[in-house]
């Protein structure tokens, strides 16, 4: 079709897109290798503090990770939730998919699995995550559970809301190049489709600031954070995972593409439907069909940027959709 192969991912995390593309088109590995290579770049770069180690401290100050990989041919999924002390969550998710018959491992016991598989433990805190946590404590933020008290939004005590993407594309480019600036992006969710139409989708994230210890978001939940179905397409979501997972937006998008709804339309309908019930949520959804046609929709911030490359675009391109 000319639109395959394709790599597409949430946010202007272009180095991740480029790494996945490199693996894919230079035949350095499978679509899963491409997905893991791409998402791993974000874990290493700590894309905007929201992927990999060193971000989103929980109420105890600890960073934990969620990730998933899905095989659109077999429906195999490997996922980890609330993974502790292992920085390479997407690779651990891949190990769950490749080396077990099981789907989702969580918490300390997911860490134990990873160690048995040869992954190395490290402290996932960074200076910035410790500072964020101390600042949060200093503002006397209450734990966002155990009470029904509505947190004071002026104190940034939750509930969680991603910051709006206010800057222009150029500013965002500058900020990425300098690797500085405020956090305003989230989870990487990526879809990779090869020239034969084989599809994988996956995610990796450090989730939600000041989450309740033990909280798992939408990212490692199949159908919520990501979904892939050969012959149909793939979808990935980012945003307020506690709300979004209630709607399984990635599954919904793929199942509706199977019924013939175009990606641009189903992403919009899906996001609008969530907003009907949760008018304060923020989030975005990308879908791509098995021909490589893609679409995205968002809600709760002015604009959503995502990164894509295919043979027509030739270079990694940042696309934008207004919310």
Does 219 interact with ligand SD4 (rule: CB under 6 A)?
A: yes
Nearest Cα to Cα of residue 219 among 13, 41, 80, 15: 80
Collapsing DSSP to helix, strand or coil, 173 comes out as: helix
Sheet order of strands, 226-229 included: 226-229, 233-239, 283-289, 294-299
Eight-class DSSP state of 120: P
Binding mask 145-184 for ligand SD4 (x = CB under 6 A): -----------------x----------------------
Catalytic residues: 187
Does 217 interact with ligand SD4 (rule: CB under 6 A)?
A: yes
Tell me whether residue 5 or residue 38 sits nearer to ligand SD4 (CB atom): 38
200 annotated as a binding-site residue: no
CA torsion sign for 77, 81, 84, 89 is positive
Task: Name the one range near ligand SD4 by CB under 6 A: 15-23, 95-103, 236-244, 251-259.
Answer: 236-244
Does 197 interact with ligand SD4 (rule: CB under 6 A)?
A: no
Of 218, 221, 254, 256, the one binding ligand SD4 (CB under 6 A) is: 218
215 annotated as a binding-site residue: yes
217 annotated as a binding-site residue: yes
Q: Does an H or E element contain 226, and which?
A: strand 226-229
Collapsing DSSP to helix, strand or coil, 31 comes out as: helix
240 annotated as a binding-site residue: yes
Query: Is-contact 82 106, C-beta < 8 A?
Result: yes
Tell me whether residue 113 or residue 281 sits nearer to ligand SD4 (CB atom): 281
Does 124 interact with ligand SD4 (rule: CB under 6 A)?
A: no
Collapsing DSSP to helix, strand or coil, 23 comes out as: helix
Does 238 interact with ligand SD4 (rule: CB under 6 A)?
A: yes
With b meaning 16 or more CB within 10 Å and e meaning fewer, what string describes 247-267? bbbbbbbbbbbeeebebeebb
Where along the sequence are the contacts to ligand SD4 (CB under 6 A)?
66, 162, 186-187, 205, 207-208, 217-219, 238-239, 241
Binding region for substrate: 215-218, 238-241
């Amino acid at each position: 079709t000319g639109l395959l192969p394709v790599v597409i991912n949430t946010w202007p995390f272009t180095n991740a897109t480029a790494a996945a593309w490199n693996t894919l088109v230079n035949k350095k590995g499978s679509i899963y290798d491409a997905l893991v290579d791409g998402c791993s770049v974000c874990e290493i770069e700590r894309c905007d503090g929201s992927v990999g180690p060193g971000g989103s401290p929980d109420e105890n100050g600890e960073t934990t990770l969620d990730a998933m990989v899905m095989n659109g041919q077999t429906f195999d999924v490997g996922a980890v939730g609330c993974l502790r002390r292992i920085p390479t969550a997407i690779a651990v998710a891949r190990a769950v998919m490749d080396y077990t018959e099981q789907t989702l491992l969580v918490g300390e016991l997911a860490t134990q699995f990873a160690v048995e598989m040869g992954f190395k433990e490290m402290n996932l805190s960074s200076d910035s995550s410790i500072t964020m946590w101390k600042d949060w404590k200093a503002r006397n933020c209450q734990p966002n559970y155990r009470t029904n008290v509505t947190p004071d939004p002026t104190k940034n005590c939750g509930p969680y809301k991603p910051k709006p993407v206010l800057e222009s594309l150029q500013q965002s480019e500058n900020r990425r190049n300098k690797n500085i600036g405020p956090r305003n992006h989230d989870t990487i969710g990526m879809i990779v489709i090869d020239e034969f139409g084989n599809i994988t989708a996956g995610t990796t994230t450090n989730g939600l600031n000041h989450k309740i210890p033990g909280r798992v978001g939408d990212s490692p939940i199949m159908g919520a954070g990501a979904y892939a179905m050969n012959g149909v397409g793939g979808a990935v979501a980012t945003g307020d995972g506690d709300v979004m997972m209630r709607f399984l937006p990635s599954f919904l998008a793929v199942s509706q593409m199977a019924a013939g709804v175009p990606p641009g339309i189903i992403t919009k309908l899906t996001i609008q439907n969530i907003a009907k019930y949760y008018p304060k949520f923020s989030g975005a959804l990308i879908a791509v069909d098995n021909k490589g046609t893609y679409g995205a929709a968002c809600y709760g911030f002015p604009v959503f940027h995502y990164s894509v490359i295919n043979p027509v675009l030739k270079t990694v391109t940042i696309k934008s959709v207004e919310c």
